[in-house]
């Protein structure tokens, strides 16, 4: 223990300032709470469906603990039910989660100065929800020196609630066999709308979203979620094409 530092101002700042480690952690945690409301039904549903598909309680929990990727977990459970092989399920997980490489690239400037253990930890928790929270946060301005703790607060909060919901869903799911009929997938639609619409600030962004949406509907029956990747590629292309004239005008 380094007792020489105990009376330094930073010690008291830990309790009082929002720029302290704890303050940042709690802010990240707070900003994640609205996203959890959208994720709760999915955690419950995944737990219930996992057990129903033939996973043990520990395997259902284990998937949430180790994979921690809602969409991929649902698809895996569906594929297990359909009798797909392990290789197909792992490959599908890769395809479905390729978007996370793009999140990784997008947030790299925020984490590139951090030690390896921090980058490993934050990468493990880079879910759709945590990415959305980080985007909203960065939209308000750059992170402070303890910004990594904001990111950590987001990850830990999302991770804990996902585990808890999986456990509850797995324990009680079999007693509620009609969970699917509640239209719980609408929670995902509503929470993603709440995330994406405030990001649509300029005309090229609206155009990118519209193009991606139309292509996704048109290509929704393609296997392995290829429709999602195709739609994303078209959205990016449309955005870049419309973005370019503005850049040339400015130059």
Partner 1 sequence: MNDALWLMILGMALVTFATRFSLFAMPGVQFSPRLQRGLAYVPVSVFAAIIVPMAVAPSDEVQLSVTNAHLMGALAAGLLAARTGNLLLTLIAGFAVFGGLKWWLGV
Which parts of 58-87 interact with partner 1 (CB under 8 A)?
Answer: 59, 62-63, 66-69, 72-73, 76, 80, 86
Q: Between residues 153 and 235, which has the closer beta carbon with respect to partner 1? A: 235
CA distances to 55, 100, 166, 169 from 62, rounded to whole Å, are: 10, 21, 10, 14
Contact in structure between 100 and 233 (CB atoms under 8 Å): no
Least Cβ distance, residue 170 to partner 1 (angstroms): 14
**Residue 23: burial class (beta carbons within 10 Å; 0-12, 13-18, 19+):** buried
Q: Please give the structure tokens belonging to residue 97.
A: 């989660």
Q: Between residues 14 and 90, which has the closer beta carbon with respect to partner 1? A: 90
Least Cβ distance, residue 235 to partner 1 (angstroms): 3
Give 231's Cβ-side CA count (13 Å radius).
20
Least Cβ distance, residue 210 to partner 1 (angstroms): 7
Q: Please give the structure tokens belonging to residue 185.
A: 């997938």
Interface of this chain with partner 1, residues 140 to 179, rule: CB under 8 A: none
The Cβ of residue 243 has, within 10 Å, a number of other Cβ atoms equal to: 16
Phi-psi region of 111 (alpha: psi -120 to 50; beta: other; left: phi over 0): alpha
Q: Which of 82, 176, 210, 226 binds partner 1 (CB under 8 A)?
A: 210
- Is 138 among the residues that bind partner 1 (CB under 8 A)? no
- Is 57 among the residues that bind partner 1 (CB under 8 A)? no
Least Cβ distance, residue 86 to partner 1 (angstroms): 4
- Alpha carbon 164 to its chain centroid, in Å, reads 17
Q: Between residues 27 and 72, which has the closer beta carbon with respect to partner 1? A: 72
Binding segment for partner 1 (CB under 8 A), chosen from 8-16, 20-28, 166-174, 206-214, is 206-214
Q: How many residues bind partner 1 (CB under 8 A)?
A: 89
Q: Which of 22, 52, 135, 171 binds partner 1 (CB under 8 A)?
A: 135
Q: Which residue reads 């804990």 in tokens?
A: 160
């Amino acid at each position: 223990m380094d007792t020489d530092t105990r009376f330094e101002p930073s010690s008291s700042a830990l309790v009082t300032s929002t720029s302290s480690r704890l303050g940042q952690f709690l802010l990240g945690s707070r900003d994640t709470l609205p996203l959890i409301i959208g994720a709760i039904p999915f955690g419950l549903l995944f737990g219930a469906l996992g057990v129903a598909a033939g996973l043990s309680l520990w395997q259902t929990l284990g998937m949430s603990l180790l994979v921690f990727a809602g969409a991929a977990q649902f698809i895996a459970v569906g594929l297990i039910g359909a009798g797909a092989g392990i290789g197909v399920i792992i490959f599908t997980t890769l395809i479905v989660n390729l978007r996370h490489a793009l999140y990784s690239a997008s947030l790299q400037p925020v984490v590139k100065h951090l030690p390896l253990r921090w980058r490993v930890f934050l990468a493990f928790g880079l879910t759709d929800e945590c990415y959305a929270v980080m985007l909203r946060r960065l939209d308000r301005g750059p992170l402070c020196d303890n910004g990594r703790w904001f990111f950590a607060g987001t990850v830990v909060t999302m991770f804990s609630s996902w585990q808890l919901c999986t456990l509850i869903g797995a324990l009680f799911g079999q007693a509620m066999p009609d969970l699917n009929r509640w239209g719980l997938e609408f929670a995902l639609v509503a929470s993603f709308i709440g995330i994406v619409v405030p990001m649509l600030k300029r005309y090229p962004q609206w155009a990118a979203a519209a193009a991606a949406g139309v292509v996704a509907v048109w290509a929704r029956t393609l296997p392995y979620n290829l429709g999602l990747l195709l739609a994303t590629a078209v959205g990016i292309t449309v955005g870049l094409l419309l973005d370019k004239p503005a850049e040339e005008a400015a130059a």
